[in-house]
Amino acid sequence: MTETLKLRVERRDGLAIIYTEGYINNQGGEQIASAAYELLEEGYKRILLNLVGTKIVNSIGISILIEIIEKMLAIDGRLAFCCLTPTIHKTFHIMGLAQYAGIYDDEAAAVEALAAA
């Protein structure tokens, strides 16, 4: 009996935003990957992960996020993150995600950066 990650996807002019709420672990990471790959199949090459409702991510979740980043890079797409807690922000930097995916304080800044990419 575990709490599952809640996802919501918004599609806007070639940009898709995935909102998460809950724990990004193995299950949560798979949910995000599934949503991201579905968006890729739909033709969205710019995806923003808004983690406003997420306070925790573990190493399995991070490895899945890295896979998504790799997949995006392979097709010349862009993935960005926004609204991270300080702990997750620090974790992403230590794990090197920040080198290959933009990390923004708020959604507006992330959307602007992705739109300009």
Partner 1 sequence: MVSASEQIEAGSWRRLLPLTDGEGEEHALLSSLLDLWCRERGARGAALYLDDDDASGAELSSGEGPFPAGPDATAGFERLPLPGAVLLWRPGEAGAPRTEEGGGEGEGPLSLLLALAVSNCRLLGRLKRQSFQAKYRGVELEALYDVGLAIASTLDLDLLAEDILLRAVSLLDARRGALYLLSGGVYRLQSQLGGEALESFPATAAHETPSGLLPGAEHLLAVPIAIEDDRRGILAVGDKESRSGVGPFSPEDRRTLSLFANQAAIALENARLHREALEKERYERDLQLAAEIQRQILPKGVPSVPGYEIAGWNRPAREVGGDFYDLVPVPPEEQSGENDRGLLLGLALADVSGKGVPAALMVSTLHSAIRLLFGRIGFGPRLVERLNRHILASSAPNKFITLLVGELDAASGRFTYVNAGHNPGLVIRADSHLERLPPGGLPVGLLPGSSYRSGVLDLAPGDLLCLYSDGITECASRAEEEFGEGRLVALLRAAADRPLPEIVRAVEEATDDFAAGQPQGDDQTIVLLRRSAEA
Residues that bind partner 1 (CB under 8 A): 1-3, 23, 25-26, 30, 33-34, 36-38, 41, 55-60, 62-64, 66-67, 69-71, 73-74, 87, 90-91, 94-96, 99-100
d(CA 10, CA 6): 14
Q: How far is the CB of 64 from partner 1 (least distance, A)?
A: 7
Report the residue number, 8 or 55, with the smaller CB distance to partner 1.
Answer: 55
Q: How far is the CB of 85 from partner 1 (least distance, A)?
A: 9
d(CA 79, CA 108): 15
Q: Are 84 and 116 in contact (CB under 8 A)?
A: no
Q: How far apart are the first and last CA of the chain?
A: 42
Q: How far is the CB of 108 from partner 1 (least distance, A)?
A: 26
Report the residue number, 5 or 48, with the smaller CB distance to partner 1.
Answer: 5
Report the residue number, 85 or 113, with the smaller CB distance to partner 1.
Answer: 85
Measured over the CA atoms of residue 53, residue 94, residue 59 and residue 1, the dihedral's sign is negative
Report the residue number, 22 or 111, with the smaller CB distance to partner 1.
Answer: 22
H helices of the chain, in order, are: 26-42, 59-74, 86-95, 107-116
